[in-house]
Structure 1
C-alpha cells in the first residue's frame, strides 16, 4: 500500500484585532519594522500603503524580506510547535520546519491597516485516513517507516479547520 506523505500549511493572520500576547508582539514588531523599511521606498513619493508601494516603486517586493527578521525571535519562542493547532485531545502537536512572513496590508501612517500572515509549514506527515472532518496523521520519521512493532504507530487525530491546507502530497511505496 502506498503511503501518502503530506506537508500542512497553517496561515496565521495577525492584525490590530489579535488578542493573544504572541500575536500582539508579532503585530507590533512587524509594524515598526514595516514603517522603517517602507520609508526607504516611499521617500520622495506620496505612497504610504504597502499596496501603493508594490504597484509603483521598483524593488518594493523586498520589503517583506526586510521585515521578516523582526519576527524570527518570536518564531523561535514557539519551539518548532505550530500555534493554535490542536489534536483531538487538545494538545499542540504539529511541528513546523519553516515559516514565511507575508504582508497582507499596511500603511506607514495608519497602524489599524497593518495585517500580516505567518505561514507555518509542517514537517512531513503520513496521512493515514480522513474520518469525517478529521485527519488521522503520524510523523514521517524513520521509526514510522519501518514495519512497526505490535503493528502500531503513534498517531494524532486533527480536525480540519480554516487556514490549514495540505500544501504538498507525495506517494511513497
Structure 2
C-alpha cells in the first residue's frame, strides 16, 4: 500500500485576514524586529536579505523568529489549517512543520512575509478521484488487508498542498 505525507505551505503577510494568520504575522514581526536589533544594533541592514548577506548569525533568524509562532501552532491542535476534506472538515493531522522568513524589514512591517510548511502524518493513499486523493489513516492498514470496511477522507488537491513524501513498500 502506498504511504504518503502531504505538505501544506501557508504564506502569511500583511494581506492575510484570518485571525490566526494576523496573530502569527504580528507576533513573528515583533520577534524578527527584536532579533534583528540584537544582531545589528547599529541598524545598518534593515532588511532580512541584507541581514543574512552581511551577518553570519542572521541565518538563525528563521529559528529564532519561529519561537513567536509556536504557541499559535499549538492552538491548531495538531491539525493542518485550511486543508479540508470534500465534506468541509479539517482532517490532516501534523506533527512536523518548517518556519521560514521570506522577507522582512525592521522599518516597514508591510514587508514582513513568512511561510509555515505543515507536514502531515503518514496516510495510506488509496486512489485518485478526479483532482482529489482518497486516503485513510496508517492505523487502518490491517483492516484494508483483511478486506474490512474503513473510514476514509477525500482530500481535494489545491494550491500550496502537495505530496511531500511517498513510499510504496511493494517495490
Whether TM-score is above 0.5 comes out as yes
The residue aligned with 1:172 is 169
Give the Cα separation in 1 of the matches to 2:4 and 2:40. 41
5+ residue gaps, structure 1, are none
CA RMSD of aligned residues (A): 1.3
2:150 is the counterpart of 1:153: yes
Give the Cα separation in 2 of the matches to 1:89 and 1:70. 33
2:21 is the counterpart of 1:17: no
1:90-130 per-residue CA deviation (whole Å, 9 max, x = no partner) reads 10111111111110110011000000111111000111111
The residue aligned with 1:53 is 51
Give the Cα separation in 2 of the matches to 1:81 and 1:10. 11
The residue aligned with 1:119 is 117
2:40 is the counterpart of 1:42: yes
Q: Secondary structure at the match of 2:65?
A: helix
5+ residue gaps, structure 2, are none
- 1:150–1:166 distance in 2 versus 1, CA, 3 Å: closer
Give the Cα separation in 2 of the matches to 1:73 and 1:112. 23
The residue aligned with 2:102 is 104
The residue aligned with 1:94 is 92
